[in-house]
Amino acid sequence: MSYISEMRKHIGHAPMLSVGATVAVLKDGKLLLNLRSDTGTWGIPGGAIELGETLEQTAARELKEETNLSAEGFTFLHLFSGKDFYFKYPNGDELYSVVALFLADNVAGELAVTDRESRELRYFRKEELPKLESRAKTIVNWLIDNQVLL
């Protein structure tokens, strides 16, 4: 069971802090997004850190769990936090996220939905972005503004 799930047993839906990693996977000028099963919106592969993990280990684990892809390494891009990273899930859970954004380096593997967190995985150009979850929208805008996603 994940750390977040364990904490939810004690605090219910009350706001909590979560530290995690999000992974930008770029291919041919497109960004990989996942259609989230919990919100019905598109997001960027990633998730919460587990006890004892580094953020890079979290990025690698989440990338593999959510997409079946692996990366040779990760380049740290930015750290996000604050009121823009508050989120209330459809089940009522409230979360303030601290998110480390990484760029996946030398990605390998066959893209596949491998968990229940995603309904679909797809690459998008910046001109064709779908409806994004609020935190993902902030991150994607940062990627565009900083010319990571061209």
Question: How much is the pTM?
Answer: 0.93
pLDDT of residue 75: 98
76 found inside a domain: yes
What b-and-e string marks burial along 64-77, b requiring 16 or more CB atoms within 10 Å of the CB? bebbebebeebeeb
What residue ranges in 54-124 does DSSP mark as E strands?
70-80, 86-88, 94-108, 118-124
The residue range of the domain holding 14 is 3-145
What is d(CA 129, CA 80) in angstroms, rounded to the nearest whole number? 21
The two tokens of residue 139 are 């991150």
- 36 assigned to some structural domain: yes
Mean pLDDT by 10 residues, the chain (150 residues): 88 93 97 94 96 97 97 98 93 94 98 92 97 96 96
What does the pLDDT read at residue 84? Answer: 93
Confirm whether 49 is domain-assigned. yes
> Tell me, what's the pLDDT at 115?
85
Q: Quote the number of domains for the chain.
A: 1
150 lies in a domain? Answer: no
Quick one: how far is CA 144 from the chain centroid? 16
| Residue 9 in domain | yes
The reply to whether 118 falls in a domain is: yes
What local confidence, expressed as pLDDT, does residue 144 receive? 97
Q: How many residues in the chain?
A: 150
Q: Say which CATH number the domain at 119 has.
A: 3.90.79.10
pLDDT at site 94: 93
As a whole number of angstroms, the longest Cα–Cα distance in the chain is: 45
The pLDDT, as a whole number, for residue 113 is 94
Determine, yes or no, domain membership for 13.
yes
- With beta carbons less than 8 A apart as the criterion, state whether 32 and 121 touch: yes
Residue 123: CB atoms within 10 Å: 15
Position 101 in a domain: yes
Contact 75, 105 (CB under 8 A): yes
